[in-house]
Structure 1
Amino acid sequence: MIEEIQKRPFVRPLFLWITGILCYAFLPTSLLLYVLGVLSALIFLFLGFSWGRGHAELQYDSRWIWGAIVSVLIVCLAVEVCWYSDRRIALVNEPASSLDLLATKAQYSLVNTFDRLRLSDEEKSILATLTLGYKKAMSRETKRRFSLAGVSHILAVSGFHVAVICGFLSFFCSFMPRWGIGRWIRYIILVGSLWGFVFIIGLAPSAVRAALMLSLYLTGRALRRVTDGYNTLAAAAFCMLAYNPYYLFDVGFQLSYLAVFFILFLVPRFKEWIVVRNPLLAMPWEWITVSIAAQIGTALLCFYYFGQFSTVFLFTNLPVTLLAMFLIPFAFLWLGYPVDFYGYGWIQKIVEGLVHGMVRVVDVFSALPYATITGRFSFFEMLGGYGFLVLCLIYMKIREPKVLLAALTLLLIISVKILIELFLIAGN
């Protein structure tokens, strides 16, 4: 496991940066300053004693000390960035950047355009949420139905939406040469359009994460370098938390990164366990594996924050995802298409039909009995559940029986705790 982390240079700085944010958020200021002061003093003492020794062997043998020094510096820098963000918000009464305000204005300028569509107010709110990330017009009942159907993630503009936009743009740029200057023009168009889309939808944390990951991936492709999904994910998280440390406590940020991590880890293993060679079934099977992996990664967090989990997500994700995959690009094509041009009416009918179809699927499945499981996990139950999942992932990687025993022991402890609580509730 240590070797796997060493292969990905952004993983360790990310963990240290998160440690600094958590220390600033939960430790008393006096204790935090005391600990950081002691660690800084130890660093200076070490540098003073080691100065001038000049033996390469000694320096190599002490490399773990240098690693500890760098770790302390990263944690201190994270604490300083958190302090600066607090001061900025307190003094200016706005986020660390005015980009959020500009993005909101750009978003509002497009929302009213949907009034030209022959849709109900509910359907317009769904379309505005799906394409522009504008959620203020959506009613609680609509959100509840999407949640019961297990497709509420479609309403949160995230990696799926960014990937659809990127795929749509890649299709239109497919005529451009993939070598020489053409490769870089294609790269600039794709990356610029991605960030333009993220800006329009209000710089949502999940969308920023996806755009960062895709930008890093496209940069690697343009430079003809091999990319690593885990390292790209860690780099995107590090950049976002460096910009705004409080993204760490955003529910969308947590759900987004957990879903992507479990997708990266579990989907290849699902494909190894069940090999589908039929090309007509391969893509639906891939969507199913992605959906299962994402649900495994986010189920505990959903129980902790929302107190419910959908049981019909396997049946709803495929049709709703397919409809959204066509609806998002057609909606943006309709927004940018001149009203007087030929074909405008056809594009509008396609958009309206796709919205009607999506709402129909959600209504049918959300009305089914037992479409959702209700129950709320405590923080420690949620934490223990993720500890169990992490141990299972480690066991799948190294096949060590001790790790499996630890995972089962942790699961037993959590199960006993939940059963005791249920008996106490039943007794009252």
Structure 2
Amino acid sequence: MIIKEIQKRPFIRPLFIWITGILLQAYFDCRIVSLFLILFPLLIILFSYMAVISGTEKSHCNYELRWQWGAVFLLLLLSFSIQRTAYWQERDERPVFSLVSELAERGQERLLKPFDTLHLSEEEKSVLATITLGHRKGMDQEVKRSFSVTGVAHLLAVSGFHVAIVCGFLSLFLSFLPKSAFYRWLKYLLTICLLWCFVVITGFAASAIRAGLMLTLYLTGRTLRRRTDGYNTLAASAFCMLVFDPFYLFDIGFQLSYLAVLSILYLQPRLQGLIEVRNPLVAAPWSWITVTLAAQAGTTLLCLYYFRQFSLVFLCTNLPLTFLATFLIPAGLIWVLLPVNFPGYEYLQLFVEKITHALLQIVEAFSRVPGATFSFQIDLLLTILGYGIALFFLLFLQTRRPRFLFVSLFLLLFLLFDLLIERFFTV
């Protein structure tokens, strides 16, 4: 069943092979070995050709021998991944990212000028600039801590949430166009161009690139009237990013972003199905809650590994704050881009001020709640074991095969054994 599901999504296997090559080169330096890996596909092709010449195999493509071409593809892709990673290891600087960062910084400086006219405190201005433009230079450390304690630090990092909000607003804004093929493609091109302008101006963060690629693939499929698969789209975007820069794999934003989306794709429909909600007024909040729970479930271990804390009030804060941010992001961007003499400009500015003030007030109120967060440190081994336990247990629930449950319990036993050793035998 699992193999069939993977076969339906052609980008998953190349992604796993590419990640394997990155890890091999990053930790073992396999450049010389990768050169020998290229020889094996050549030998496979040579022996296959000789078999055809000798008459032992049919001259046309034999479906039963497709494993040979699979092996050729695997070895070549693994070798290219190792060589690509080695190439990036030898580069001291990344001119593409330097250029993008410079352009983003210049654009942000121009767009930040209207912020001086806002009737907000410096902390509120910095929050607005961070959420809408990704400008974090003026952010106070205490404000960052408050967002982290309340479990909404993702609002301060331009991520898939921000890009999805911008994409949704653009689609809504362009929905007035006729439904003909010409205008459908015009809407597609305008949405993609403006979407990537937002990704660039906000600093080209890994999570924003992931969201931009996924939405580009999704919109392309929808424009072509093709079905899209969330898992395959996720794998395709990750593969493209890692081919461009293999060291995205070690970026915290990349890891958190993909784990969150993967958890949402798998867990959110199952969580939502636990309770049947027919009232539309309750269905929307329940959907938001299940999305939050799914994302939190997938990223908790990684957050404990990197940040060593976990918010206990994230369920109470995510729903109202993401609701406010859904309106603040497009309203703030429109306000920044509009000229001062545009009709209704002052009312839009007042709206932005009120939402920004309310958002920060909620964050500060929940950050002062006693026990809003607790600190807990785990190492890399515990993180890997935790995700392994969760993975094999989910496989058991899906397939009902006892061997997956056995592996999950074995990893759990190993984890407990490691904790006991650390607790009683370390000084």
Q: 1:205 to 1:33 in 2, by over 3 A?
A: closer
1:347-399: CA deviation from partner (whole Å, max 9, x where unpaired): 11111110111111111111111111211111000000010111122123212
**Partners of 1:149 and 1:316 within 8 A in 2:** yes
How do 1:168-247 and structure 2 match up within 5 A?
168-247=169-248
Indicate the larger mover: 162-171 or 76-85: 76-85
Q: 1:42 to 1:342 in 2, by over 3 A?
A: closer
1:334-357: CA deviation from partner (whole Å, max 9, x where unpaired): 011110122111111111110111
Identity of aligned residues (%): 50
1:165 corresponds to which letter in structure 2? V
Indicate the larger mover: 416-425 or 253-262: 416-425
Are 2:76 and 1:73 equivalent residues in the alignment? Answer: yes
Indicate the larger mover: 32-41 or 327-336: 32-41
Which residue does 1:323 correspond to in 2?
Answer: 324
1:306 corresponds to which letter in structure 2? F
Are 2:402 and 1:401 equivalent residues in the alignment? Answer: yes
Which residue does 2:334 correspond to in 1?
Answer: 333
Match of 1:40 among 38, 41, 46: 38
Q: Superposition RMSD on alpha carbons, in Å?
A: 1.8
**Partners of 2:112 and 2:129 within 8 A in 1:** yes
1:50 corresponds to which letter in structure 2? S
Looking at structure 2, the residues matched to 155 and 96 of structure 1 have their Cα atoms a distance apart, in angstroms, of: 21
SS in 2 for 1:309: strand
Looking at structure 1, the residues matched to 303 and 206 of structure 2 have their Cα atoms a distance apart, in angstroms, of: 18
Looking at structure 1, the residues matched to 133 and 314 of structure 2 have their Cα atoms a distance apart, in angstroms, of: 24
Looking at structure 1, the residues matched to 277 and 110 of structure 2 have their Cα atoms a distance apart, in angstroms, of: 46
TM-score of the aligned structures, taking structure 1 as reference length? 0.94
Which residue does 1:313 correspond to in 2?
Answer: 314
How do 1:162-173 and structure 2 match up within 5 A?
162-173=163-174
Looking at structure 2, the residues matched to 186 and 93 of structure 1 have their Cα atoms a distance apart, in angstroms, of: 33
Looking at structure 1, the residues matched to 396 and 230 of structure 2 have their Cα atoms a distance apart, in angstroms, of: 20
Aligned length: 421
How do 1:6-405 and structure 2 match up within 5 A?
6-28=7-29, 32-54=30-52, 55-56=57-58, 59-87=62-90, 89-90=91-92, 94-95=95-96, 98-405=99-406
Indicate the larger mover: 115-124 or 94-103: 94-103
Indicate the larger mover: 279-288 or 37-46: 37-46
Return 5+ residue gaps in structure 1 as ranges: none
Shift of 1:67: 0.8
SS in 2 for 1:98: helix
1:113-135: CA deviation from partner (whole Å, max 9, x where unpaired): 32221111111111111111111
Looking at structure 1, the residues matched to 258 and 293 of structure 2 have their Cα atoms a distance apart, in angstroms, of: 15
Return 5+ residue gaps in structure 2 as ranges: none
**Partners of 1:96 and 1:244 within 8 A in 2:** no
Looking at structure 1, the residues matched to 372 and 149 of structure 2 have their Cα atoms a distance apart, in angstroms, of: 6
SS in 2 for 1:227: coil
Shift of 1:409: 2.8
2:86 corresponds to which letter in structure 1? W
Looking at structure 2, the residues matched to 70 and 105 of structure 1 have their Cα atoms a distance apart, in angstroms, of: 43
